[in-house]
Amino acid sequence: MNGINGEVDSRGVQAEESMKMETDIATMSDGEEVEEVRNEAMEPPPVPVSSDTSSNPVKSDDSADKPKKRRGSDLKHLEQWGWHKSRARKKPTTVTPVEQVDKTCAGYLKRILGRYYGECFDTSESPFVETRVPEKEAQEGNKKRDCDFKTPSTATEDDFQKRTAEEFEKFVGELDKFDLILLLSKWLEYIAKFWTMSIPRPICEQYLKIYKYYLNHYDLMAWNQLEYRDFHSVFEMTLFYLEQEHERIAVKKLNKEEFSGEYRRLLLHLMFHSGAYMLEDEDLHFLTLMRLFWINYIVCKYENNLEDAIDFIYKIHQLLEEKRLNLTVDLPNKSAENHIDLGIIEDLICSLQRTIKLNNVANLYKDEKFKELSVILKDSLINCTEIKNLDNTLMKINTQFEKCLKYAVDFFLTIPENSHRLKEWGDSVNFILIYLEALIKHEGIDILSCLEQFEARLVQSLVKIISNQLDTPFEKNSTQVHSINFKIPWIILHAFVQQEEDRQHAVGKKLKSSSETSDVEDDEESMPNSILIFFTAHEFLGRKFWCTKDGGQLMTHTLDIVVPILRSPMLEPFRDIVMEYMEQLTYCLYSYPPKRTRSRHIEEHEATQIELTWERAMQLFEIYRPDHLPEFDSYKVDSITADLEQLLQRILNLTPKELNVPAAAYTIKDFISGESTSLPEYSLVPAFPARISSIFYLLADYYFKNRDFSKTVKYYVQDLSLNPCRFDAWAGLALSKATKLEGKLNSCVP
């Protein structure tokens, strides 16, 4: 019983201590309570005791003074009471995906011309192929075209060693019979035998080096003294060397001068001895001649010697027809032009004939023999660069200009920058664009609707041109300008954008008139794309410092578009933004307004100023003139600024001689002085443009409010000669004369 009672008492003690600790946790605060809990938690659990000792528990002094060990974090001991579960759970932050916006010029144009990008026309297919080829025929045609340039099979040295193991054993067996020089000759002989199989590239490169050593020890002039077997060996060795040397030059894209000297001497030497095979082996002679004529054709074509090139093709064609066999010859160790058969030879004959005929195109065009010219150009369009003359010919019969542009643009974008043909294709594109611009000016943009689905292809071609101009890297100090005109592609795209805006405006008006609720507020308007497109073009040109590289054609065209509608209701909500764009534009063209610290929106595009003419000067006046003429008694702040006064004086210096306003001002002076009693009712210079007729009044008002009365009287009189009924001019003139008279009177000595 005592044992049972002791066990019960010990469990009761444990329960009481647990309740006490929970009460302490509930009431504790700050660091003292935490320390108390930590100390109690670190104590070992109570050991069951008997009834004798449970009532009077006594701790020893040693255990009380003994330091307690730290077991990890203090907060770790609170987990048994669920403290760790009361912490606030961190809410996951939701990241809103940011839509990536293409900030290139092409990206901007695709956004505003998205309707024309429903179908992609970015294919290598010729735009003149109008009929769809059946799938079976297309596969056969592709198979035939693939024969021209077979992908060379790459062989490893191990594969080559396995296939030539027997010949290699034979070569090794004869090594003891050769000296070093003869060993090189035998190695070349064995390698040249394998021209029909793929040889690893390192072995081919080694062949070129060893053959040059071979030439230093063997005389070519002694070939006629060789036996047939030896003659065949050296002939094969030299022919294989010429093929591999051309492969080296073609792969590295070296100049045609690499074919001079030793290479040309070896080629002529082979041609001279090519007839020696006929006496022994006719079939071997046939294959060797084909290879020899083929390498001659390649070299002539590489040097643009088309007459000789087609002669060698004719010789190969004659050999194939004599045998009357569907024979094919593969050159697996060449990366291009590595396959010969009758079909390819016939295609090459047609292609070379067309190209040679094109040499006479200029003469036919000058003689206006357009029928003969169109036949030649249509037949050879896919393989020629004379797109300009064909376009002119087709424009005379009013067809196919869009296809010509697509074809020319695709070729222009694929030609390397260092190619001399790049400028030729650029001129061709410009030639087509000029015709297209003239067509739109004469007939309107609606004429392009006849293109139907190819209208989108025209837009995509224009965007490609602009992207190639403005989205490519450039060198700041480079003086080279893009070969395609900056202005015309933007003008044509502007016509498309304007057409789209007119269509949306018509649809919007129709929906608004049919809507029953008129209380719905319109969405916030944005600047019309037909205007913004020109300002965006200026921004991209400015990044490359090309604002006036073409004489400022695009910038001046922007003035022609924006200035007439600058004060129209359409642009009134965006007046401040438009004026910032216009100030940047006129700053690049004419260095006005002067760039000051306060004009932070004006950027330095390092543009060269263009000459300011009378017509362009009137546009400047229209841009910067005040909306309302200041009255004679208004505040000085209402008058023009000093910068604008200098601009107006600059404009007056450009006035044509036939618009002699100072000469006509004598009539007003006579009326003021009393010599004449009749005042003209209309302008004394009728030819003076009405839109700039207030220039004299603005200058007079500026000088009047700056108390320069001599100039004030001068310009008021000139303004009255154009506007005799302007009240503020008469009032300002009277006050100015009165002030001058008062000054004279005050200066008199009594």
DSSP count for the chain of H helices, then E strands: 32, 2
Q: Using CA of residue 336, residue 342, residue 347, residue 352, what is the dihedral sign?
A: positive
Mean confidence (pLDDT) of the chain: 77
Residue with tokens 């019969």: 397
Instruction: Say if residue 125 is exposed, middle or buried (CB neighbours under 10 Å; 0-12, 13-18, 19+).
Output: exposed
For the chain, give the percent of residues with pLDDT over 70.
70
Indicate the pLDDT class of residue 40, thresholds 50, 70 and 90: very low
Segment 552-611, tens digit of pLDDT: 999 999 999 999 999 999 999 999 999 999 999 999 999 999 877 557 789 989 899 999
pLDDT value for 35: 45
Q: Map 672-729 to HEC letters.
A: HHCCCCCCCCCCCCCCCCHHHCCHHHHHHHHHHHCCCHHHHHHHHHHHHHHCCCCHHH
Question: What pLDDT score does 691 carry?
Answer: 92
pLDDT of residue 378: 64
- Per-residue pLDDT averaged across 624-630, rounded? 94
Q: CB–CB of 500/72 below 8 Å? A: no
The residues near 604 (Cβ < 8 Å, ≥ 6 apart) are: 595
Helix (H, G, I), strand (E, B) or coil at 383: helix
**Angle made by CA atoms 498, 504, 509, in degrees to the nearest 5:** 125
Question: Is residue 629 helix, strand or coil?
Answer: coil
- Tens digit of pLDDT for each residue in 670-697? 888 888 888 888 888 889 999 999 999 9
Say how far apart CA 741 and CA 745 lie, in whole Å.
Answer: 6
Give 143's contacts (C-beta < 8 A, 6+ positions apart). Answer: none
Q: Going by C-beta distance under 8 Å and a sequence separation of 6 or more, which residues neighbour residue 592?
A: 586, 620, 643, 647
CA distance 262 to 197: 27
What is the three-class DSSP state of 339?
Answer: strand
Structure tokens at 694: 């207030």
Residues 420-467 have pLDDT tens digits of 788 888 898 999 999 889 888 888 888 877 777 788 999 999 999 999
pLDDT digits (tens, 9 = 90+) for 140-164: 444 444 434 444 445 566 666 666 6
| CB-based contacts of 210-217 (< 8 A; 24+ apart in sequence) | 210/184, 211/237, 211/238, 211/241, 213/184, 214/184, 214/185, 214/188, 215/262, 217/181
Could you give the percent of the chain with pLDDT greater than 90? Answer: 26
* C-alpha span between 132 and 150 (Å, rounded): 26
Give the lowest-confidence range in 108-112, 248-252, 380-384: 380-384
Does 473 score more than 50 pLDDT? Answer: yes
pLDDT band at 381 (very low <50, low <70, confident <90, very high): low
Q: Give mean pLDDT, residues 467-473.
A: 89
**For position 138, what pLDDT does the model report?**
41
The pLDDT tens digits of the residues spanning 538-569 come to: 999 999 999 998 889 999 999 999 999 999 99
